[in-house]
Structure 1
Amino acid sequence: MDTALRILLKSALRDRISLFWSVVLPVGLLIGLGIVFDSPEYRGRLLAGSAAMGVFFWALFGIAFETLSHRNRGVYKLLRATPFLTVAFVLSMTIARALIALLSGAVVIATGAVAFGVDVGWRESLLMLPVLLSGTLCFTCLGFLAANLAGNEAQVSMVCNLFSLPMLFVSEAFYSLDKAPHWLQGLSRVLPFSHFVDALRLSLEGDASGIVLPLLVLSGFTALFLVLAVVTFRWDAEGGRTPANRSRD
């Protein structure tokens, strides 16, 4: 498993498109909007929203495209002919992606701390660690689900956008919804990304008790996405499970 983890980690680091969406774009938004809206209160919201968006895009889009690529190249079918269990391979891929998600979040937060003087101490950093891990795991499971629902790259991009755009636009990552219609505020509260943003913002404020509820909500969504990903899992591009396949689950 260690060898697989190293290989997958190197592969993830070569994923330049996902790195752009998870690091370059959030940092660019953070600096650009931070300069335009010169307010300490807004910069705190902006920092949490930018970091959350980077982790969100990395976990969702990155894992979806990588899973689809592995399936279409027959990687999962080949794994069934080896002693290496598919679940161990998927776990290695998830860990590799989670490590880079933590790194991308750290880059965005460090940029905000340096560029805008946002105070991020040891307490805030320790509180952010479980938040970033929970968000990564939740949206990684969603990425697996997106890959299962798609048959090619165009479809996986469409499915990921279908999942991500509503979550991003109805969250408070970059603006407040206090004056939005009640139905829109309610919709925001039933989507996991909003709770991820809340948890990150509260961790940056050092509120240890405040992050408990968002983390519980993220855990619930993680379980839901995991079950759906398992139910819809396909071993190959043609789909379908045979009795032999079930024996390896």
Structure 2
Amino acid sequence: MPSDATPDLSTVIGANLPYLRRYARALTGSQSTGDAFAAATLEAILEDQSIFQTTNNAKVALFHAFHLVWASAGAPLGEADNRLSQKAQDHMAHLTPNTREALLLHAIEGFTHEEIGAIMQIDTNEASELVHIAQREMADAVAGRIMIIEDEAIIAMDISAIVKEMGHSITGIARTRTEAVALASREKPDLILADIQLADNSSGIDAVNDIMAQFDDVPVIFITAFPERLLTGQKHEPAFLITKPYHEDQVRSAVSQAMFFASTETLIA
């Protein structure tokens, strides 16, 4: 921030930047494109900080600034770099306009319908309806086999119940890196939900990368109490990252999107 920016504003932007990047990454389907728009947002704020005077909620103002930049550019997607990316973008073309943004803001970033209205400059009722439309369209689009990598039995059972209720099947639950690789070898999943810290102190990230060595087209959602380990600003960040403790809507949203958009980005250790 420039020297005339208040320390409080700089601190708030710094604290929320990883989450803005997460939103931009999922919204565009591309880490590089998402980061480019996040950077453009910061540049716009450097030139004009007045947007932060319109609300007492600095996080809402930051995301509103991003939305203005994103919308003014025509809400573009990242360039498709493989067959699955192109398939995901083809699916995206059939969604009702503005629903994806509203759903991400609500279910992944935790904004209320009122805050979404402020970010997108629409009324609260319209924001609520956009979220519901997105949930219906994505949940109805695909069903598949989901693998869970989670060492806490209660959490694993809860996630399993949510996923089954959505119409998906569970290939199994793995508690360690070794179990995860063996499970994936027996039956290839259509989606992986993974914690990053497992029972034997092994890494869910390593487990996912081992599985990716076998199958390079499986989307992954990380569910973790340590999001800072993944939102580092480096390459190969996950498209979908849910922070513990999570809400059921967050899991539903991420699963629907990952299946619908066939996201394949994961981490390289």
More helix by percentage: 1
Q: Verify same fold: TM over 0.5.
A: no
Q: TM-score, normalised by structure 2?
A: 0.26
- With CA pairs under 8 Å and 6+ residues apart, which has the higher RCO, 1 or 2? 1
